Amino acid sequence: METRTLPAPDCNSQRPPPLPAGKMVARRGKRGARDSEPGIPSPPGYSAIPIKFSEKQQASHYLYVREHRVREGTKSSWPQKRTLFVLNVPPYCTEGFQVAYVVFQKPGGVSAALVLKGPLLVSTESHPVKSGICKWISNYADSVPDPEALRVEVDTFMEAYDKRIAEEEAQAEEEEGVPDEEGWVKVTRRGRRPVLPRTEAASLRVLEKERRKRARKELLNFYAWQHRETKMEHLAQLRKKFEEDKQRIELMRAQRKFRPY
């Protein structure tokens, strides 16, 4: 049997796939089904299974489970019929409340799980689950890095990367100056006459340069109408500022900001 946890549909962070939930469900699943009592309310289409961390706890959370189905035609990475869709997996199984997809080997597992009555226990004497201090210490120990492993990972990646880049370059060199079927020749950075890279910033720079060149040639305040317009522009600025100032004053008055003490 294979089990994996996925982030909730609305959340896009990646999580390591923790296992205890699946294990536990599976273990109980083998034990077979009793009739579920209609006592626990559950949303339509789902069954509710109470779940607790261990015997010590009084109250339980509820897993809401149903068979994993998708609309016709949509692709799903989960096998049909054999997958159980679980909502509200408690935080001691994973990080935060999660959604899980549990894949059973046989379709029977799903139907067995759907009629589970619970309450399920996450941590038992035979299968203790770490939490709190113990968990944090083991997390810390796991986080102490192994430089060798890192080096190997870096080297393998870079080897592949260098190979890919070399191939691309070789291909680009091959295509250099060769017209395509419509007769266009691709001009690249590496060719005999390199061009600017096609970036937004570069094109903006060119436009700006043009604008400045034009502005330099233009005479300012030369004609009477230009003069008039500059003055009017100044007045408009003042008006705008005045309007804003008035608004600010109005607001301050409303906040009684003019009471000096």
Binding to another protein, residues 120-159 (CB under 8 A): 131-137, 139-141, 144-147, 150-151, 153-154, 157-158
Q: Nearest approach, Cβ of 220 to another protein (angstroms)?
A: 19
Q: Name the residue nearer to another protein (CB basis): 2 or 95.
A: 95
Q: Nearest approach, Cβ of 108 to another protein (angstroms)?
A: 25
| Binding of another protein by 5 (CB under 8 A) | no
| Binding of another protein by 188 (CB under 8 A) | no
Give how many residues touch another protein by CB under 8 A: 81
Q: Which of residues 167-186 bind another protein (CB under 8 A)?
A: none
Q: Nearest approach, Cβ of 32 to another protein (angstroms)?
A: 25
Element (H, E) at 237: helix 224-254
Q: State how far the Cα of 116 lies from the Cα of 166, in Å rounded to an integer.
A: 57
Output b/e per residue, 147-171; b: 16+ Cβ within 10 A.
Answer: eeeeeeeeeeeeeeeeeeeeeeeee
Count of Cβ atoms closer than 10 Å to residue 116 Cβ: 23
Q: Which of residues 31-60 bind another protein (CB under 8 A)?
A: 41-44, 48, 52-54, 57-60
Between the CA of residue 88 and those of 11, 82, 196, 206, what are the distances in Å? 14, 20, 54, 55
Among 18, 90, 109, 121, binds another protein (CB under 8 A): 90
Q: Which of residues 233-252 bind another protein (CB under 8 A)?
A: 235-236, 238-252
Q: State how far the Cα of 216 lies from the Cα of 210, in Å rounded to an integer.
A: 10
